[in-house]
Amino acid sequence: MGLKLEDCVLYAVTDTSWLRGQTLAQQVEAALRGGVTMVQLREKKLEGEALEQEAREILALCRRYGVPLLINDDVMLAKKIGAEGVHVGQSDMAASQAREILGPDAIIGVTARTVEQAQAAEKAGADYLGSGAVFGTSTKKDAKPMDPAYFQQICESVSIPVVAIGGITADNIRRLQGRKMTGFAIVSGIFAADDIEAQTRKLWKDAQELCLPGQPQRLHALVEKRRPVVQCITNIVTVNDCANALLAIGGSPTMAHHPEEMADFAAVSDALVCNMGATESLDAMMAAGLASRNRKTAENAENSEKAGQTVNGEKRGERTERPIVIDPVGCASSTFRRGKCLELIKAVKPSCIRGNPAEIRALATGHDTGRGVDDLEAETPDAARSAMDLARKTGAIVVASGETDYIADGTRLYEVKGGTAWMSRVTGTGCMLSSLLGAFLAVENSALSVAACCAMMNACAEKALEETVRRQGGTGTFHICLMDALSGSIY
């Protein structure tokens, strides 16, 4: 199971001080509908059977929405009810001891108010840190506001996610822009609202925009460290660029595409990218995808047996093994490609589908929606809706790439702006992005990881254009500069 980066983005911490005639479960469900990504049950006034009953009710809600539930301080209660993990303070049980009790897949959060505490918690095995109080807080009278620069120093001192906590509301959350946090833990800013669901939606929009800038660097570093092997079955126009783009960011490409060797490569690669432009390799795509699904099913069964934890009959975080990316090139104007692509999606259940808005809309509706593989005319405000619709139909993370990249996981939507129109003047930038998504998903299979990869590609394209202009070059120069930007540091 384990923690995903996106779990930390908007983290609701309960408090019965604001029930106002509702039950805690009703308030938590409103927050879940609004988009919270993790819940912590923190009820100091409850204990014994009353606390356990509340915890079980909240856990059932969180499972229904696919969101982790952590228990504050009480490690044994978390173990008893099967919660996803715990959050402990500096005076509570040590993270290392909590890990021994709850096992390797549990999520362990630790409060850290200094750089030294943060580094010690990471060394002890914490999955994330809660740091603050960034604005002071009414829930802890002795909590003084933390200097913003020092909070950023804590974030930069560790490689695990850091969640800002303390007095965060919709009115002040944007004051933390640029502070390198992975998310926000919010108490009264959610539960004191008259309309919890609406307030949560507003906070989600701010939170994902504020947290995304710090993630490309973190995930790129993981790619460089782990060097994931990405198998690409892509079209002949872009095969060389896709391989070099992966090498540039620290990945390891393999371009194997014969159906008879797919099982062998499924056993040794960390991600699979299937590009519908390679129509001559459709059999290989199906064979590779099915081999990946077979490997994933076996590994998930083994992990589920060890962990004994399921969500709606499936292990939470099932998409963690050998992610599959499908790039539906040409599906907006080719009935043949669209049909084959939908067959592939149904058979292999990909982690991610990435295309331009016309291609995504064609898959979502089953109809022609464009004039060619680079048709951007269909980039309308409903691109986001098409992405969300396709995500809900397929269970995949869906990317509609364009002037704004929309990333949907069926529940939440990320919007990534940036890049340059020059990206559409060079063949293969979309195919390159799909290949890079394979590497990012191999180290963190989440919508936030997909959004971070899109943000990295956009930043590299902007840097490439700046250098192209400086050299007074054209599209050939831009192509070279884009590869240089991918292979260099953009942060």
Q: Is residue 219 situated within a structural domain?
A: no
Query: 256 is in which domain, residue-wise?
Result: 227-487
Q: What is the average per-residue pLDDT within 455-469?
A: 96
How far is it, in rounded angstroms, from Cα 86 to Cα 451? 27
The pLDDT score that the predictor gives to residue 382 is 86
Q: Which residue has the higher pLDDT, 308 or 15?
A: 15
Mean pLDDT of the chain: 90
Q: Is residue 448 situated within a structural domain?
A: yes
Cβ neighbours for 305, distance < 8 A, ≥ 6 positions apart: none
Q: Is residue 220 situated within a structural domain?
A: no
Q: Is residue 271 situated within a structural domain?
A: yes
Q: Is residue 436 situated within a structural domain?
A: yes
Q: Of 163, 182, 213, which residue is a domain's last? A: 213
**Percentage of the chain exceeding pLDDT 90:** 80
Residues across the chain? 491
Residues 28 and 142 in one domain: yes
In this structure, what CATH number is given to the domain that contains residue 417?
Answer: 3.40.1190.20
The pLDDT score that the predictor gives to residue 378 is 45
How far is it, in rounded angstroms, from Cα 459 to Cα 463? 6
Q: Of 213, 237, 260, which residue is a domain's last? A: 213
Residues 83 and 24 in one domain: yes
Specify which residues 107 forms β-bridges with. 85
Q: What is the average per-residue pLDDT within 173-181?
A: 94
Residues 170 and 304 in one domain: no
CA angle, residues 318, 344, 264, in degrees to nearest 5: 70
Whether 296 has a pLDDT exceeding 60, the answer reads: no
**Owner of token pair 């993990």:** 85
Residues 153 and 281 in one domain: no
Residue 133: cis peptide before it, omega within 30 degrees of 0: yes
Cβ neighbours for 147, distance < 8 A, ≥ 6 positions apart: none
The pLDDT score that the predictor gives to residue 375 is 46
Q: Which two tokens stand for residue 23?
A: 């039950």
Residues 128 and 233 in one domain: no
Q: Which two tokens stand for residue 433?
A: 């992005």
Q: Is residue 222 situated within a structural domain?
A: no
Q: What is the average per-residue pLDDT within 118-138?
A: 92
Q: What is the average per-residue pLDDT within 472-478?
A: 97
The pLDDT score that the predictor gives to residue 471 is 96
Whether 418 has a pLDDT exceeding 90, the answer reads: yes
Where residue 64 falls (left for φ over 0; alpha for ψ -120 to 50; beta otherwise) is alpha
Residues 233 and 185 in one domain: no
In this structure, what CATH number is given to the domain that contains residue 98?
Answer: 3.20.20.70
Residues 411 and 450 in one domain: yes
* pTM, 2 dp: 0.84
**Owner of token pair 């560790």:** 158
How far is it, in rounded angstroms, from Cα 424 to Cα 462? 13
Residues 165 and 241 in one domain: no
Q: What is the average per-residue pLDDT within 174-202?
A: 95
Residues 284 and 177 in one domain: no
Domain count across the chain: 2
The pLDDT score that the predictor gives to residue 317 is 36
The pLDDT score that the predictor gives to residue 490 is 53
Furthest C-alpha separation in the chain: 72
The pLDDT-based confidence of 45 (bands split at 50, 70, 90) is confident
Cα dihedral 96, 70, 88, 45 sign: negative
Whether 17 has a pLDDT exceeding 70, the answer reads: yes
Residues 238 and 299 in one domain: yes
Residues 187 and 331 in one domain: no
Q: What is the average per-residue pLDDT within 54-67?
A: 96
User: pLDDT tens digits, residue range 352-381?
Assistant: 999 999 999 999 998 755 544 444 444 445
**Percentage of the chain exceeding pLDDT 70:** 89
How far is it, in rounded angstroms, from Cα 384 to Cα 395? 16
The pLDDT score that the predictor gives to residue 411 is 84
Q: Is residue 218 situated within a structural domain?
A: no
Q: Of 161, 181, 213, which residue is a domain's last? A: 213
Residues 121 and 248 in one domain: no
Q: Which two tokens stand for residue 368?
A: 């022609």
Q: Is residue 421 situated within a structural domain?
A: yes
Q: Which two tokens stand for residue 323?
A: 């992610």
CA angle, residues 153, 156, 161, in degrees to nearest 5: 120
Q: What is the average per-residue pLDDT within 221-248?
A: 95
**Owner of token pair 């409060």:** 111
